[in-house]
Every structure is written in structure tokens, then in C-alpha cells.
Amino acid sequence: MSMQPKKRVGVLISGRGSNMVSLIEAAKAADYPAEIVVVGSNRPDAKGLDRASDEGFATFALDHKLYGKDREAFDRDLHAKLLEHNVELLVLAGFMRLLTPWFVDQWQGRVINIHPALLPSFPGLHTHERALEEGVRIHGATVHFLTSEMDVGPIIAQGAVPVLDGDNPDELAARVLTVEHEIYPKALAAVASGKATIDGFRVKVEGMKPEGKKIIS
């Protein structure tokens, strides 16, 4: 059986990059269908950039502060950087910046994002605080295809955790992060191998089995 060439992936981060690390680790497997070819950030001081270059990856930083209000100028430079590295699939891993409709259009169907909530609940910021305020008993994370609407897009994978009595936002965030690190490598593999395909508002994922029948909390 001939192996498909690995999809060339760019990862964008804004911070510590723990999701990026989970992708780097997964991509070390010989049969992983994607290879990370570059890691970029809108913040030159993002901790994850050091980690990526320590691991031998090409990195770049485009300081969004230098662009003022011109979002499209930032996005055009970002686009050019990604093309320099022949990126085919783009993965947002804690990238805390909205991309313009122009950019989203260029990359239609080729950008995935992870959000720390079970979308469509809790789009936006401070998801763990808001989940605690609302008293939900199940919380989690979502990997979805990017659209120009923030935290909206066809869902590829979700992972859920219980909310426990007495949780504070940090404890809940840490529990959610463990499922982020599980679902993101799986979701990227499904997209890179062509097993996850967009079908209207839904994603068909071939061969991805739910881990259990019920999640009750």
C-alpha cells in the first residue's frame, strides 16, 4: 500500500503552546498523516516559539502591534509567510487573534481551531469562568473548521469533562486542557488524511469512534 504524502502543516500560537506540543509529539509517529513545517505567532515573546525552535522547527513572529488597526495588512503578511513554507493546512493552537474574511477565504476549509468549550456554548473568552457561572455539569473543548465568524464552524471533534463541586476556573481549565491534548492530534490526523470532510454545517469523520455511549455528570 502506498503511503499518502504527509500534509504540510503550519501551527499558529499566541502563548505557551501546550496544544502545539501535543501536535508535535503526535506528528513524530511515522504513520501520522501530517508534518509540522512551521510555527508562527503574532506575539514575538510567545513561550511556545522557543519550544518549537528548540525542537528544530522553523518559526516566525509577526508582531501584530506593528500593524495598528490594519488587520488585512497583518493577514497578508501572515499568508505570505505560510506560502513561503508551502503550508497546506493551518492549525490554530491558542492563536488569540481574529483573522479577516479575506484570509479565511484564502484558506477556506484548510484551517482548524481549538476552542476551550463545547461549542456552540461559550464562544469567546473566559469560557471556564462562564461555565462555572452557568452551573453546567459537563464542559469541554471543540476542534472545528474556521469560518469568518468567531468560534463558529463545522465541528470535527469534541471532548467533555465533568465540572466538579468546588472547581475554580484554573482547575477546570486544566481538566479541559487534558482533553484538548487528546482531541487535537486526532482531529488533525482526521483532516490531514482526508477522513474528515465538510458536509454543509457538519463534518463527516470516517472511522472516529465515540469512546463510550454516554457522558453523564
Cβ proximity to ligand GAR: between 93 and 172 the closer is 93
Query: Of 64, 79, 115, 128, which one is the catalytic site residue?
Result: 115
3 marked as binding residue = no
* Binding residues for ligand GAR, total number by CB under 6 A: 16
Work out whether 157 is an interface residue with ligand GAR (CB under 6 A): no
How far is the C-alpha of 14 from the C-alpha of 93, rounded, in Å? Answer: 8
d(CA 137, CA 54): 39
Q: Is 115 a catalytic residue?
A: yes
3-class state of residue 138 by DSSP: strand
Using CB atoms within 10 A of its CB, is residue 48 exposed (0-12), middle (13-18) or buried (19+)? Answer: buried
Nearest residue to ligand GAR, using CB? 94
Helix (H) or strand (E) holding 25: helix 18-26
Per CB under 6 A, the list member of 114, 119, 146, 191 interacting with ligand GAR is 114
Q: Please select the residue that binds ligand GAR; options are 116, 140, 153, 159, rule is CB under 6 A.
A: 116
- Rounded to 10°, the helix 18-26/47-54 angle is 20
Q: Does residue 27 belong to the site contacting ligand GAR (CB under 6 A)? A: no
Q: How far is the CB of 194 from ligand GAR (least distance, A)?
A: 25
Coil vs helix vs strand at 39: strand
How many Å is the Cα radius of gyration of the chain?
A: 17
Q: Phi first, then psi: give them for residue 202, nearest 5 degrees.
A: -110, 165
Nearest to 186 by CA among 112, 110, 98: 112
Q: Which residues sit opposite 155 in a β-bridge?
A: 144
**Candidate residues 90, 91, 93, 156; the one interacting with ligand GAR per rule CB under 6 A:** 93
Q: Which stretch binds ligand GAR (CB under 6 A): 8-16, 76-84, 152-160, 189-197?
A: 8-16
Answer for which of 11, 12, 17, 159 binds ligand GAR (CB under 6 A) is 17
Note whether 49 binds ligand GAR by CB under 6 A: no
Q: Does 143 bind ligand GAR (CB under 6 A)?
A: no
Q: What are the residue numbers of the active site?
A: 115
Q: Residues in the site for ligand GAR, rule: CB under 6 A?
A: 13, 15-19, 48, 93-94, 96, 114-116, 141, 177, 180
